[in-house]
Chains A and B, each alone.
Chain A
């Protein structure tokens, strides 16, 4: 997993609430057997019409906006568990998603792929949307070590929560999988007292 420490970038805003993973990456693009290339179809049906023409005022296409931070309305990433959604956002070039809350599975998938979900208050989210509307190329700083999201030009900031373990993984690039693999002995020990490890088949 790639290390995440600090990012200063302009922002692409999506004001919609409850953006589901079917919008992020429609199911018809889930036929691949590898992890690569999903960015091409990120928000496919919002970015392109049914003739394949670019929808110019959609924020990802709108030249006003650019950057590695995606800002979205609350409950981002709800719906299907497809990790392809996190892969697509990362592959497209985003490194941070900011919202007032995230669907649980998406949040976990993002963290497992070095994509940082930053949960802010509804008020701060509104402030961000408003300022970006006024100044589309405004830069925002996301500092993981300090757990702060900062609007450098405005002297505005808000702390954000992240689990210490997940933070450690992102800061060091360590995959939580490696950590689990270190526990195989205690897992075998556990199995001796479990009801259901008996082979069913």
Chain B
């Protein structure tokens, strides 16, 4: 029987198997950030251990950093201490740090790919659930807890059980105004936020193949929102083109050698997945969420469903969720006034996303009621945006480009949405209070978010495309 892409990469990384137990899985690249690493370093110190392979761990400060005046000391004392603790730990243990002020700083899942650290066939982990982003390159990439961060620091391995595999096939062509974000929100709305728990997903089919590398990252990024350990896409020409001439990708002959290996990273014709699902791109409209989990999504022009239509009979949570959101079943969301828009995050904070935003706002003006946060995913994204004049387009429309970080996606810094306010957000989670206590998040694509910022209410971007 043939092997899936997942099987091939997984098998390649098994150090040893243990009877009746987990296996030891080798980790090629490990990303760390300020929030989930300090206790792991404390664990190392307590045991008197060193970092086993310091050159295979890369650090950045992203979750808990301000998005303006990054050259000044961080105002919040606890945040400042968390970031300085990361700096000290990296210095002590010889780990490369792209901290505030470094030209490579940014959201960990944005910088890995853009620097070419992420390469096909790797295993990659990070103390962050959106590590699944890197799967867009045909890597096995998944989020881990802080205890496991310690395990990787000390041994470059993890004890793992092999997950089941799921194939999600998306046939056909995405319609105008429908992006990768809509595609993944659509899939999650169909299978629910626990629909892929216990599985590792491979995305395939024409609609996936047609996506750019950055769009593929958006899809893989949100795999965790349906419970999957990770999501991956087989590398192809699009992947190889993207990887060319990145800071840390191999050059010349070395690149050619890697390419022949990368070419072998695809699922065999006769391979069997534990579960296979197929969706059709034609069925997908620009999406928006109306509840407090990413599975509660619908086409932007639809009416909010009632709890009778809740997935898997989750009626109690469904009603509680609508109540929190102060959204009525049976009514449309189009035209609903919102005062906040957030564009950024590891889901939609890359240059392609900012270009989409610029396309919508160019020659238009921000609605007066809107407060918008537009946050690039990395310093490099910010520099590119300025070079392309995107910052000017934003300014002319009444917006401002911030400095890079996770920002209002999880609101650990001062970028918060006030209690009771709605925010159309390009991030990945609409959980209660995710963007600040009492905040109400509606997840959408950069196109939809940008157009909402222009109109001042939820609007269908297809009107102007």
Contacts and interface: CB of A to CB of B under 8 A. Distances in A.
Contacts of B36: 81-83
B81 A33 contact: yes
A163 B314 contact: no
Nearest to B143: A81
Given A73-B317, A105-B144, A194-B28, A165 B55 contact: no
Given A45-B432, A108-B145, A194 B38 contact: no
Interface in A129-186: 163-165, 176-177, 179-181, 183-184, 186
Contacts, number: 203
Contacts of B431: 20, 22-23, 79
B371 interface: no
Give the residue among B15, B122, B438 with the most A Cβ atoms within 10 A: B15
Give the residue among A18, A163, A176, A177 with the most B Cβ atoms within 10 A: A18
A32 B156 CA distance: 25
Given A22-B432, A181-B155, A195-B121, A200 B147 contact: no
B128 A27 contact: no
A80 interface: yes
A183 B157 contact: yes
User: How many residues of B sit at the interface, in one of the four size bands?
Assistant: 35 or more
A30 interface: yes
A31 B82 contact: yes
B129 interface: yes
Contacts of B78: 31-32
Contact of A186 (B15, B42, B147, B293): B15
A83 B194 contact: no
A187 B157 contact: yes
Contact of B15 (A101, A112, A163, A190): A190
A86 B145 CA distance: 10
Given A33-B81, A163-B22, A200 B248 contact: yes
Given A20-B293, A75-B194, A45 B154 contact: no
B340 interface: no
Contact of A201 (B20, B38, B197, B248): B248
Given A180-B159, A187-B24, A31 B79 contact: yes
Nearest to B320: A16
Which secondary structure dominates where chain B touches chain A? loop
Contacts of B151: 176-177, 180
B418 to A, nearest CB: 11
B328 interface: no
A84 B53 CA distance: 26
Contacts of B119: 196
Which secondary structure dominates where chain A touches chain B? loop
Given A16-B320, A33-B82, A165 B18 contact: yes
A103 B194 CA distance: 8
Contacts of B29: 196, 200
A183 B155 contact: yes
A31 B261 contact: no
B299 interface: no
B419 interface: yes
B150 interface: yes
Interface in A65-93: 73-75, 78-84, 86
Contacts of A113: 147
B56 A197 contact: yes
Contacts of A197: 28, 53, 56
B427 to A, nearest CB: 12
Contacts of B81: 31, 33
Contact of A28 (B20, B55, B147, B411): B411
A57 interface: no
A26 B433 contact: yes
Contacts of A50: 419, 437-438
B412 interface: yes
Interface in B413-465: 419, 429, 431-434, 437-438
A53 interface: no
Given A18-B193, A82-B145, 18 more contacts: A17-B316, A18-B194, A27-B434, A31-B76, A32-B78, A34-B42, A45-B437, A75-B193, A81-B129, A105-B144, A109-B145, A163-B22, A165-B20, A165-B21, A183-B157, A186-B16, A200-B29, A201-B248
12 contacts: A27-B411, A31-B79, A33-B82, A34-B39, A78-B194, A81-B129, A104-B198, A180-B151, A184-B155, A186-B16, A196-B121, A201-B248
